[in-house]
Amino acid sequence: MRLLVVGRLSGQLASAVKMAMAHGAKVNHVERGDQATEQLRRGQGADLLMVDYRVDIASLIAANEAERIHVPVVACGVDADARDAANAIRAGAKEFIPLPPEADLIAAVLAAVADDERPMISADPSMQAVIKLADQVARSEASILITGESGVGKEVMARYLHTHSRRADKPFISVNCAAIPDNLLESELFGHEKGAFTGAVGRRIGKFEEADGGTLLLDEISEMDARLQAKLLRAIQERVIDRVGGTRPVPVNIRIIATSNRDLAKAVAEGTFREDLLYRLNVVNLRLPSLRERPGDVAVLAEHFIKKYAAANGVPVRPLSAAARQALATHRWPGNVRELENAMHRAVLLASGPEIDVEAIRLPDGQPLMGGAAPASNVVDRAAQAAETVTRAFVGQTVAEMEKALIMDTLKHCLGNRTHAANILGISIRTLRNKLNEYAQEGIDIPAPQSGVAAAG
């Protein structure tokens, strides 16, 4: 993990840095907030900022965000009282570390805030076959395309490939192509020169240069604009990039991993994705099966998440009851591993007895996760009643009104996650965003993304 320390490096702060290095962190240091932003802008990236509470944390975070640099901040300091710690949190710090430091606390904060610990856990033969293939290709230089539904763990697999590659000691940089508007994505990827456009107050190193020597993950590559696809193809073929406003090409040495939850062959046929780029990216394809296709993983993943969130919340690790295991095994898990993770997080918090029983396993709306199969007659009756209710609800509505209701209901089910909602609806993220913009202009309250069932994986 890359740690950037901001503040005067003396005494107890120096001790904290040594402890972080002992836990594997690679540390850089600056004394002022503006120096931190400048260093990040130049591409000397960080996964975490450890900032002296006397630095203006709010201004530092604002300056970073103005450059679209999002790095979590933890505050620290000697002789800080509760008010100082509270002020640091209000300013945007994720945690506060009192100094002199404790080794266990440093380790816990690094793990919790950076969230680097994402092991590849599987007991199901279908997933183990994919992991075996990943092990075979990890040390190669081949570009890899990871496909699968939202929430199956595509980024986890990408990190697994990186940590098992010959580039493991170099940066792993991730860019979510669906989350960044088209007019900003080019600068985000390739960087820009000072004055290249309004607001370009200095040279900005892009993700390609930041990942130099390491791995660049292009998450949800299918959402990239056609013009940028051409620039990306050149970068992969010639191993050079052009900064926006630049006058000379910049050489880069990176390995590309891309992910998509859409059928890229179909996108090629529809003319929205370049066929030559697909060939370049899809040297090796790793398709991650959905959780319902790998039932042998449900129990082992559930137990892993129980241990993880019990430790994070300081509660005892409780085993799953037989009824809970049955409920987990029979649920369809439309949100895949991310849905299971969030369900286990809630269960750890809600469980009260010696075991985690089925009552503690809840859906995002608070409804219980029903285990076992209902009698066939009950299923038929409920299906008929549901169909009649839906039919009556749609009578008298226009197609546009029905479409709006479907989109909004799906978005609410996905807890505001645009990527997963678009996947369920069978439309592109761009189409979904355009629809939501229309609804917002009509005064409709659009759910903001939040942690839940449908976070993309």
Using the predicted structure, report yes or no on whether residue 393 has a pLDDT greater than 70.
no
Domains of the chain: which residue ranges? 2-114, 125-289, 292-360, 396-441
How sure is the predictor about 456, in pLDDT bands with cuts at 50, 70 and 90?
very low
Least confident stretch, 105-114, 339-348, 375-384, 418-427:
375-384
Is pLDDT at 221 greater than 90 in this prediction? Answer: yes
Topology of domain 396-441, CATH:
Arc Repressor Mutant, subunit A (1.10.10)
Distance of CA 248 to the CA centre of its chain: 33
Helix (H, G, I), strand (E, B) or coil at 319: coil
Give the model's pLDDT for residue 132: 95
Per-residue model confidence as pLDDT tens digits over 13-29: 778 878 878 777 788 88
| Amino acid identity for residue 21 in this structure | M
User: Is the confidence at residue 178, as pLDDT, over 50?
Assistant: yes
> What sign has the CA pseudo-torsion 223, 162, 128, 297?
negative
Question: Phi/psi zone of residue 335: left (φ > 0), alpha (ψ -120 to 50 degrees), beta?
Answer: alpha
Compute the distance between CA of residue 316 and CA of residue 120 in angstroms, rounded to an integer: 24
Residue located via tokens 């051409």: 230
> 298-313 vs 336-350: helix axis angle to the nearest 10?
50
Q: Which residue in this structure is represented by tokens 């994986």?
A: 457
Same CATH fold, 292-360 and 125-289?
Answer: no
Share of the chain above pLDDT 90, in %: 39
Assigned token pair, 143: 């570009």
Alpha-carbon span 401 to 147, nearest angstrom = 33
CA dist list (Å): 194 to 187, 243, 244: 12, 10, 9
Residue 444's nearest CA partner among 412, 399, 396 is 412
Q: In the numeric block, which tokens belong to residue 187?
A: 């600068």
pLDDT tens digits, 337-353? 999 999 999 999 888 88
Segment (H or E) for 3 = strand 2-6
Contact 192, 204 (CB under 8 A): yes
Residue 450 predicted with pLDDT over 50: yes
What's the CA angle centered on 291, arms 128 and 346, to 5 degrees?
A: 120
Q: Is the pLDDT of residue 119 over 80?
A: no
Distance (Å, whole) CA 274 – CA 269: 9
CATH architecture of 292-360: Orthogonal Bundle (1.10)
Across all residues in the chain, what is the average pLDDT? 84
Backbone angles phi, psi at 90, to 5 degrees: -60, -30
Under DSSP, is residue 375 helix (H, G, I), strand (E, B) or coil? coil
Q: Calculate mean pLDDT across residues 174-182.
A: 86
Six token digits for residue 62 = 């604002």
Beta strand residue intervals within 44-171, DSSP E: 48-52, 73-78, 95-99, 144-147
Question: Exposure of 198 by Cβ count < 10 A (0-12 exposed, 13-18 middle, 19+ buried)?
Answer: exposed
| Rounded-to-integer distance, Cα 366 and Cα 424, Å | 21
Taking residues 197-219, what's their average pLDDT?
A: 86
Report the candidate in 41, 73, 52 with the shortest Cα–Cα distance to residue 204: 41
Over residues 350-361, the pLDDT tens digits come to: 888 899 999 999
pLDDT at 127 > cutoff 90: yes
SS3 label, residue 244: strand
User: In 10 A of CB 403, how many CB atoms?
Assistant: 13
Residue 337 contacts residue 301 (beta carbons within 8 Å): yes
The CATH architecture assigned to 2-114 reads 3-Layer(aba) Sandwich (3.40)
Q: Give the contacts of 453 (CB within 8 A, at least 6 positions apart).
A: 151, 334, 335, 338, 339, 342, 343, 363, 364, 413, 414, 415, 420
pLDDT of residue 203 exceeding 90, the answer is no
CATH, domain range 125-289: 3.40.50.300
* pLDDT confidence of residue 303: 95
Can you name the residues that pair with 95 across neighbouring β-strands?
Answer: 74
C-alpha span between 231 and 78 (Å, rounded): 49
User: What does the pLDDT read at residue 380?
Assistant: 52
Q: Which residue has the tokens 């066929």?
A: 275
- Tokens 């209000």 identify what position? 90
As a whole number of angstroms, the distance between CA 51 and CA 75 comes to 5
CA 403/CA 397 separation, integer angstroms: 10
Interior angle at CA 433, CA 427 and CA 438, nearest 5? 115
What φ, ψ does residue 278 adopt, rounded to 5°? -60, -40
Average pLDDT rounded to a whole number, residues 102-129: 75
